[in-house]
Amino acid sequence: MKVASHQLRCTGCAAVIPPEAAAADFRCAVCGGLYDIIYPWSSIAVRNPTSRSGVTTPGSMIPDTNLPNASALRWLWQERRTSSMAVDQSGVWRFRDLLPILDNPENPVTLREGNTPLYDLPRSAKALGIDFLLAKHQGIGNPTGSFKDTGMTAALSVAAERGFDWVACASTGNTSAAMAAYAARAGLRSIVLIPEGKIAWGKLSQSMDYGAITLQLRTDFDGCVRILSELIRRLPIYLLNSVNPYRAEGQKTPAFELVEQLEGQVPEHVIVPGGNLANGAALGKGFREMCDLGLIPRVPRISVVQAQGANPLFRSMQENDGAHVTPVIADTRASAIRIGNPASFRKAVGTIHSTGGWCEQASEQEIALSKAEIGAEGIGCEPASAATLAGLKKLVANGRITPEERVVLILTGHTLKDPEYTIAYHRGNLLREDELAPATLAQLSLHQTLRKPPTVLDADTDTVLRTIDAAIQTTPIHA
């Protein structure tokens, strides 16, 4: 008998189904909830072996003797770093023992994703008065420049293995870039639905470059999701939005990498930007599974930061502790997280509650300032990613994070994804006066220090020298 490696468990009603029983929209037939992938060793499978659906009992899939062993895993994952095989070089598939979702695990659709750097942010830490601030930069190292690649290699490998010819997603730009790249790599056709005029140019150019059918709909992201849910009912296309639970299997692996990079240590706090709200939950799943297997002693707090103009989770946590969500009309220049009706709302609330994290919001001015600060550390990121630092400032100010706690910001996208935003900021025409009005004097002065507008000059050496001299006088080094 072929032993099932994994099953799908509804995060709403706990119904468990085999992989082949999933509907095209990846919604639970009983309650409409989203699924998580579970394995025989997932705590949920071990502790809760009977499902309400009665379809199957995950605890009975594989005998206990086949549970992954923590020390063997640590050794194996290190060994694979020296291998020349693509599957071992991938920062996702190097951990394939904890995402056994493929029938042929040695042959995924990979672009050597993952293996992203962990940087310290000494200036931001000093400014905040905290000892230990790190940034795991998912925009650097990943082939299309965002964290979406880790999830896309997983879900697209499943699509290819199951024989789909077409894949599709609705996106604020990064999912579509990643999907288009991995689909091209696998020889599949891809359809991208994006909100017209509301995604960054870098991302739009990527989906065209990788050969997707790119459809710019005159609506917002939430409108694109509505159209896509109609399309998948009518066409045999594989849905690659983050409701697809295989995406989370790839997106949980930065948690494994992070612990390796910290030599087995677990930070106290991990902070992610929140849009459709899948990423925090995926990382939470990664940490939880490591904990279940004895690889780490505890799970960090996971907090989510939303843009103030796209803050349905923040509002819900304030108003009813995440019991229910009221969609908003989203509006923020951090276009990656311009989402008013997040699909993974329930998962995000579950992650915040179970890890003891929080949800914060950040204004346009606060996001812009934090992005400039991350840029000034020589790292840079796209606007949505900078929401993490803006949220951290609030968590420190209100005492939720104490100086000795180790904090890791998840920077989700590369700074070159959205150069228009950066140029507008430095030229001084990003923020309106009413957006700057609530800024403190300290914030205004920091904006002034960090803004480096380009200067157009005649090609004359004296003029250039005079201008450099003036710049040195007026802008002290940000230390």
Residues 274-303 that bind ligand F0G (CB under 6 A): 274-279
Are the CB atoms for 16 and 9 separated by under 8 Å? yes
144 lies in the binding site for ligand F0G (CB under 6 A): no
Report the alpha-carbon distance of residue 64 to residue 66 in Å, rounded: 5
The only residue of 59, 143, 173, 254 in contact with ligand F0G, by rule CB under 6 A: 173
Q: Among 62, 57, 63, which residue's Cα sits nearest to residue 17?
A: 57
The only residue of 37, 98, 240, 337 in contact with ligand F0G, by rule CB under 6 A: 337
**Contact range with ligand F0G by CB under 6 A, out of 86-94, 114-122, 166-174, 463-471:** 166-174
Report the alpha-carbon distance of residue 434 to residue 7 in Å, rounded: 51
Q: Coil, helix or strand for 401?
A: coil
The only residue of 61, 336, 368, 374 in contact with ligand F0G, by rule CB under 6 A: 336
Binding mask 421-460 for ligand F0G (x = CB under 6 A): ----------------------------------------
The only residue of 382, 393, 422, 430 in contact with ligand F0G, by rule CB under 6 A: 382
Beta carbon nearer to ligand F0G, 67 or 215: 215
Beta carbon nearer to ligand F0G, 158 or 179: 179
385 lies in the binding site for ligand F0G (CB under 6 A): yes
The only residue of 38, 101, 413, 421 in contact with ligand F0G, by rule CB under 6 A: 413
Beta carbon nearer to ligand F0G, 332 or 363: 332
Beta carbon nearer to ligand F0G, 16 or 177: 177
- What DSSP character marks residue 429? -
Report the alpha-carbon distance of residue 164 to residue 33 in Å, rounded: 24
Record the tokens describing residue 345, joined without a space. 């709302």
Smallest gap from residue 314 Cβ to ligand F0G (A): 13
Beta carbon nearer to ligand F0G, 77 or 358: 358
State phi, psi for 235 to the nearest 5 degrees: -125, 150
Smallest gap from residue 162 Cβ to ligand F0G (A): 22
Q: Among 165, 11, 39, which residue's Cα sits nearest to residue 96?
A: 39
Residues 204-243 that bind ligand F0G (CB under 6 A): 242
244 lies in the binding site for ligand F0G (CB under 6 A): no
- What DSSP character marks residue 103? S
Binding mask 103-142 for ligand F0G (x = CB under 6 A): ----------------------------------------
Beta carbon nearer to ligand F0G, 273 or 309: 273
418 lies in the binding site for ligand F0G (CB under 6 A): no
Are the CB atoms for 414 and 139 separated by under 8 Å? yes
340 lies in the binding site for ligand F0G (CB under 6 A): no
189: left (phi over 0), alpha (psi -120 to 50) or beta: beta
Angle at 242 between CA 291 and CA 21, to 5 degrees: 85
Q: Among 150, 222, 153, which residue's Cα sits nearest to residue 193?
A: 222
The distance of Cα 196 from the centroid of its chain, to the nearest Å, equals 22
- What DSSP character marks residue 378? T
**Contact range with ligand F0G by CB under 6 A, out of 23-31, 286-294, 378-386, 438-446:** 378-386
Q: Tokens 């992938």 correspond to what residue?
A: 37
Q: Tokens 């023992």 correspond to what residue?
A: 97
